[in-house]
Amino acid sequence: MEKIKVSAVQFAFKPISSFEEFASNVENLVNQAKGSDFVIFPEAFTMELQYFVEINQIHEFEDKYIDLFKQLSEKTGQYIVAGSHTVKRNEKFYNIGHVFYPNGQIFKHKKTHLMPAEVKMGFTHGTEFKIFEIDGVKFALGICYEMEFPEVARTYALKGVEVIFTPSYTLGEHGFWRVRHSCQARALENQIFVIHSCLVGTPPIDFMAGWGRTSILSPCEPPWTPNGVIAEVSSAFKECVITGELDLKLLRKKRKRGVATTLKDRRPEIYDF
């Protein structure tokens, strides 16, 4: 696999009255990504279900969530990064990212770095940096706050990851820019692609509005754009889908002979901790 086409969803909260209504909208967004190899949704976008259930009941829709995306992935032949969903295991709650394969396989990643607000809500930290491989290309999930820690992306890069999918839900503009700047820094530091998918709009409960501008990011290196943005949503609140191409052959070339070969120019022998 030398080139892949990715579509990133900017998902906006909207009033719904049933899971079926939620599923219909999800399918419509996937249809807008026709022709892409990967489709990515934001972190915690199933919180939209709060329009007709309590927040502590969202985990009860796990089976329907799994069935929905398994069917969509099998139907379209696409790999779908279905954001993240609240899952309950042994009386503990986790924020788990899911990747659905067309063959029915499911990759799962428990968010390892939780915001203080998530901890207060009762979520439990994940403890593993898991990667998945497709046709010789290694991918990983860096869920929102995880990308604010350089060690996360660096660990992935040392394991051979070339693309990090970042489902995100940030409350307010400050939160968005923390994650966005972090994503761009991680792309630069590790010479990787980062796909940042945002949940936006006002939720049905008393939270700050989700703020975001979904983007597909590359290193800041010719022939990519000077600012390292392959594609980007212009509005912070509208629901839409953006698409871009990731040239992995070019990425590997730049890692060896680019202007700034940051992946291999590290000097761990002089870093004193």
Determine which one of 70, 110, 111, 254 is catalytic.
111
- Asked if 180 contacts 147 with a C-beta cutoff of 8 angstroms, the reply is no
Q: How far apart are CA 55 and CA 70, in angstroms?
A: 24
Q: Extract the tokens encoding 226.
A: 């000077």
* Residue type at 123 in one-letter notation: F
- Please confirm, yes or no, whether 159 is among the known catalytic residues: no
Determine which one of 43, 146, 162, 232 is catalytic.
43
Determine which one of 144, 162, 183, 198 is catalytic.
144
Instruction: Return the closest-CA partner of residue 117 out of 172, 159, 61.
Output: 172
Q: How far apart are CA 273 and CA 270, in angstroms?
A: 10
Burial class (CB in 10 A: 0-12, 13-18, 19+), 28: exposed
Instruction: Return the closest-CA partner of residue 208 out of 256, 169, 166, 265.
Output: 169
- Please confirm, yes or no, whether 43 is among the known catalytic residues: yes
Local structure of 48: helix, strand or coil? helix
Neighbours of 187 (CB within 10 A): 24
| Per-residue DSSP letter, 144 | G
| Per-residue DSSP letter, 130 | -
- Please confirm, yes or no, whether 232 is among the known catalytic residues: no
Q: Where are the extended beta strands (E) located within the chain?
A: 3-12, 38-41, 79-89, 92-100, 106-110, 131-134, 137-141, 161-168, 193-200, 215-217, 229-232, 240-247
Catalytic residue numbers?
Answer: 43, 111, 144
